[in-house]
Structure 1
Amino acid sequence: MTTRVMRSDEWSKPPRPVHREVIEAEPPAGGANDRPPVLFVPGLGHGAWAFAEHWLEHISQRGFRGYSMSLRGHGGSGPAPDARLRDYVHDVTQVAAGLPRQAVLVGHGAGALVVAMAMARYPVKAGVLVAPVFGGLGTAFGLLGSNPGGTLPGLFGGRVTLSRDQLFSKALAAGAGQAYAQRLQRVPGAVQRQLLTRHEPEAPVGNPPVLVVGSPDDRIVAADTLTWVARRYGGSPLLFPGMGHDLMLDARWQEPIDAIADWLEKVG
């Protein structure tokens, strides 16, 4: 992987300013103040709430100051019906640059792709890619196979609708899964079209440690995709069998975030 220094399109046509929602959780009094802040970046359709539900508070209890943000057009951030991936990358780098210390970036789904792209612009302390969606026809066909009715409109500029069964394991109460699925927001058509192409982000600045986390039972991200992404960063994926795509909201949500916190403690 290589890093591009000049990005003329970004300085000639910068993303427009927008309000960004950021939710914060502080460690208990007397916690480990020397640890890097952790910024959670949700996937498409999800807002900051997706991490604030469980992982944000839990990572703060492990001694890390946690932040969860909403990309533009999501959650409580400003509207952006014409957003593209580069706009999301801009949002992440701007929020990360405003944190008190060099941050750990944790991205989920297509938010993991945004984090991977942001790591080529912002020197992270470490990166964590959870159930990463890097796009490509394989992702589109996988979605079509598991939910054709909800996916097909997206191929023609309409809304992609993810079902409860695509996002969660059967261990999560049906009512809870359905409620989460109903909170997902519309994704701009331009971004959906961008994800029809597989993306290979530039190399991270400074060669930071990167962890890939997922489930072999994910109905959106195939196991070989997890392996492919992990190998790009010189490792193997950390797998949690029996869980769905939204690991941070599924029934066994605590297992992945504890494993991530353990890993962060080791890499320092």
Structure 2
Amino acid sequence: MSVKTPPVRVLRAREWSRPVPAARREVLSALPELDEGRPPLLFVPGFGHGAWAFAEHWLGHAAARGFPAYALSLRGHGESAPAPEATLRAYAHDVTQVAAGLPRQAVLVGHGAGALVVTRALARYPARAAVLVAPVLGGWATLGAALRHHPAGTLPAVFGGRLRLNRQQLFGRELPDAQARRYLSRLGRASRRAQWQLLAHRESEPAVGDPPTLVLGSPDDRVVPPAALNRAAQRYGAAPLLFPGMGHDLMLDTRWQEPIDAILDWLARA
């Protein structure tokens, strides 16, 4: 006896009646010397970050371990085209378009609010697997945590200004101050509309194909509280993988190699 399942609506009426405007996208890459057929990794940075945040350490390290690695700057970020009125839908469109152009079915790796963008893209793109790094999945709890740790940098974002994160939120104590200042100087901003949508966001639609999903972060993250990290992992039926002593930007912190090795080891098993 066969069981019929409801069809997955990858293309919605709104997407052809009100298409997302085209935008130039920055994509950085690092490729292994020998192609062993492993799935490509597409890294998606969070708000204010660009592809540079993954090019600093993780792209080259993943390639050295045999994984083709790509990092995308969402529109309005990094060296991608300016997009002051971009929406979460436009950001997810960027991810699905870049992923669809990769040589093989990709693994989507989202950091911070980029993890939220990845969950939205998963409803359109049949990823090989997904990894949510220190995920900011939206809702007013996200605002509450940010206000507690850095009210001066958070309140302007509520009224359409720039969300400003500080050193204590993004990095652990071991990172040299000069290096932290260099990273902070490269941060940009997301659009006002995307920031507001992040606060009002509801749970994303189910992923196409139910890909295996890993959630990891730090219990000392001052952007994503432990309770939010646990909720994100429970949604995918597992506990989060934790890296104590690190800040929100795991890919830039002093012990950056530990989380990327954990991701690659998990992918090898999965």
- Give your verdict on TM over 0.5: yes
Query: 18, 26, 30: which is aligned to 1:25?
Result: 30
Partner of 1:15: 20
Partner of 2:196: 193
Partner of 2:248: 245
> Is the Cα contact below 8 Å between 1:3 and 1:204 reproduced in 2?
no
Partner of 1:66: 69
Q: How many Å separate the matches in 1 of 2:7 and 2:180?
A: 39
Q: How many Å separate the matches in 2 of 1:144 and 1:182?
A: 22
Q: How many Å separate the matches in 2 of 1:250 and 1:120?
A: 31
Are residues 149 and 92 of structure 1, via their aligned partners in 2, closer, same or farther at CA, if it must alter by over 3 Å?
same
Q: How many Å separate the matches in 2 of 1:4 and 1:200?
A: 17
One-letter amino acid matched to 1:258: D
The alignment's TM-score, normalised by the length of structure 1, stands at 0.96
Q: Which moved more, 1:133-142 or 1:48-57?
A: 133-142
Q: Equivalent pairs: percent with the same residue?
A: 61
> Is the Cα contact below 8 Å between 1:3 and 1:202 reproduced in 2?
no
**Cα drift, residue 35 of structure 1:** 0.6
**Cα drift, residue 4 of structure 1:** 6.2
Q: How many Å separate the matches in 2 of 1:25 and 1:199?
A: 34
> Is the Cα contact below 8 Å between 2:139 and 2:200 reproduced in 1?
yes
Are residues 254 and 219 of structure 1, via their aligned partners in 2, closer, same or farther at CA, if it must alter by over 3 Å?
same
Query: Number of residues paired by the alignment?
Result: 264
> Is the Cα contact below 8 Å between 1:3 and 1:120 reproduced in 2?
no
Answering whether residue 100 of structure 2 is matched by residue 104 of structure 1, we say no
> Is the Cα contact below 8 Å between 1:143 and 1:151 reproduced in 2?
yes
Query: 123, 126, 131: which is aligned to 1:128?
Result: 131
Q: Deviations over 1:217-244 (max 9, x none)?
A: 0000011111111111111110101100
Partner of 1:236: 239
1:86 match: secondary structure: helix
5+ residue gaps, structure 1, are none
Query: 155, 163, 175: which is aligned to 2:158?
Result: 155
Q: Deviations over 1:233-261 (max 9, x none)?
A: 11111010110000000010000000000
**Cα drift, residue 198 of structure 1:** 4.1
1:76-95 → structure 2 map (5 Å cutoff): 76-95=79-98
1:195 match: secondary structure: helix
Q: Which moved more, 1:174-183 or 1:49-58?
A: 174-183
Answering whether residue 208 of structure 2 is matched by residue 205 of structure 1, we say yes
Q: Which moved more, 1:224-233 or 1:88-97?
A: 224-233
| CA RMSD of superposed structures (Å) | 1.3
- Please identify runs of 4+ aligned residues in structure 1 that moved more than 6 A: none
Partner of 1:43: 46
Partner of 1:222: 225
**Cα drift, residue 168 of structure 1:** 0.4
> Is the Cα contact below 8 Å between 1:3 and 1:203 reproduced in 2?
no
One-letter amino acid matched to 1:240: F
Q: How many Å separate the matches in 1 of 2:93 and 2:7?
A: 16
**Cα drift, residue 207 of structure 1:** 1.1
1:175 match: secondary structure: helix
Answering whether residue 172 of structure 2 is matched by residue 175 of structure 1, we say no
**Cα drift, residue 3 of structure 1:** 8.7
One-letter amino acid matched to 1:55: W
**Cα drift, residue 189 of structure 1:** 0.7
Q: Deviations over 1:107-164 (max 9, x none)?
A: 0000001111111110000000000001111111111111111111111111111111
